[in-house]
Copies of this chain bind each other. A is one copy, B any other.
């Protein structure tokens, strides 16, 4: 049973619009309207993207009157980095590995 936290985080970040929002939020929290502004897309579309980010835990929402303040929560990104780091060892010697495999499975003649 893999907890779905990585599922949601990876899925949320697979959309370029959402990654752009995350990047924007790295510079500081913002209101929904502020986040809509750079995009050529309806307000509602961005609002939906924010809900996806929120569900994935990448973003926290605090209501202040009629305004919602959206702040980055980098914890899921940290989890992703942790997951990816398991393959660091690979980043240097993948060609060696492939070679070794091909050698091991070479037809014996």
Contacts and interface: CB of A to CB of B under 8 A. Distances in A.
Interface of A: 2, 4, 6-8, 10-11, 13-16, 19-20, 23, 26, 28-29, 60, 62, 64, 69, 71-75, 77-78, 80-81, 83-88, 90-91, 94, 97-98, 101-102, 105
Contacts of A78: 84, 87, 91
Contacts of A80: 80, 84
Nearest to A82: B84
Contact of A81 (B19, B60, B88, B97): B88
Which secondary structure characterizes the binding site on chain A? helix
Contact of A72 (B11, B26, B81, B90): B90
Contacts of A98: 29, 60, 71
Contacts of A23: 86
A55 to B, nearest CB: 13
Q: Interface centre among A2, A69, A84, A97, by most B CB within 10 Å?
A: A84
